[in-house]
Amino acid sequence: MRSIYLDNSASTKVYPDVAELMCKTMLADYGNPSAKHIMGVEAEKYYRESREEIAETLKVKAKEILFTSGGTESDNMALIGGCFAKMRQGKHIISSAIEHPAIYKALEFLESHGFEISILPVDEKGHISLNELEKTIRDDTVMVSIMTVNNEMGAVEDIHAIGELIKKKNPNCLFHTDAIQAYGKMILHPKKDFVDLLSVSGHKLHGPKGIGFLFIDEKVKINPILFGGGQQGGLRSGTLNIPGIAGMGLAAKMVYQDFPKKIEKLYELKDYFIEELEKLPEVKVNSEKGKASAPQIVSASFYGIKSEVLLHALEEKGIYVSSGSACSSNHPGISGTLKAIGLTDKELDSTLRFSFSFLTEKYELTDTIDALKELLPMLRKFYKA
């Protein structure tokens, strides 16, 4: 049975060239990059080249790229390290109602250390209000953290407008964005968008798991949250993960090659899939068509069927999708994002996420629609949400 993988927002297939390069760093160029002999020098070269490749995609300086273990660490380091560094200025933080658990858990930690948290609501499309943001920013606001692309429904925030507003209202306030679902799916220029800190994870863009990076503007000071041998300028101690770093650098370079053509294909796939879903009875699509939302994510509610029942029915046909954020746990419960956009209890309990990659083909979406046409009437007959 041919498998159809539509859970790319959880993780993507590693490019073969990336896997090959990683094997080379583990089997041939396996020296410790901190060592002073030639094998250490060769390993350290991968680190420098990957920083340069990633920096080029963002139009920033290589020294502004800090490698981490992934998106969760990047988010934690941005919020905890950034806010602790600015405690003398204030202890007020602003975020939104549809952030990733890596943001919310970091905020809970900061709150336990005396910080005050303001959470902005979103509209039915998942967008914050700029007016609400402006009213919420204070003189003692030290951080605003708003994700670029929501991981469950694909809502895209106007990061440029948000950043411009923050710097106009409080120039000393840091602006962090979780760009984990955005990097590799859109062109990002943090310098132009007034972004101070930007988080990315490797396994969302055909790179390896266990690696990510945090863009830190050179003018920004953050405190380390890991301590040890002083690697990466003392900001993130620990032996550098050269296989992951090399793999992520190559994946970043590859994902942005022929980018306009690849991204247009993704938008065409998304719009086609939404149009076909809308033809099915008792289905509500929660994601917007066109470039108003991300090109790789479609959220839909299937009335009368529990999401987990439909997920496993599709799985039996070799079609793999998600019923929530794969990063929260194996059993994420009811999505805070879907609650925030106003879905009813029945809609919340019947929602699936379909997410695509540059490797997704149209016939896979056609086969998925055909499977839904077969499954929905049968499941509605035997199962009730």
Question: Which residues carry out catalysis?
Answer: 327
The Cα–Cα gap between 145 and 201 comes to 17
Neighbouring residues of 281: CB distance < 8 A, sequence distance ≥ 6: 376
Strand pairing partners for 201?
A: 212
Helix (H) or strand (E) holding 169: helix 159-169
Q: Which residue, chain included where needed, has tokens 């606001």?
A: 141
Asked whether the CA dihedral 356, 271, 364, 371 is positive or negative, the reply is positive
Other beta carbons within 10 Å of 104: 17
| Contact indicator for 69, 211 with CB cutoff of 8 Å | yes
The bridge status of strand 351-355 relative to strand 297-302 is: antiparallel
Given a contact cutoff of 8 angstroms between Cβ atoms, the answer to whether 263 and 295 are in contact is yes
- Which structure tokens are listed for 293? 């939302």
Q: What is the DSSP letter of 322?
A: B
Rounded distance, CA 11 to CA 4, Å? 14
Opening angle at CA 306, ends 303 and 312, nearest 5: 125
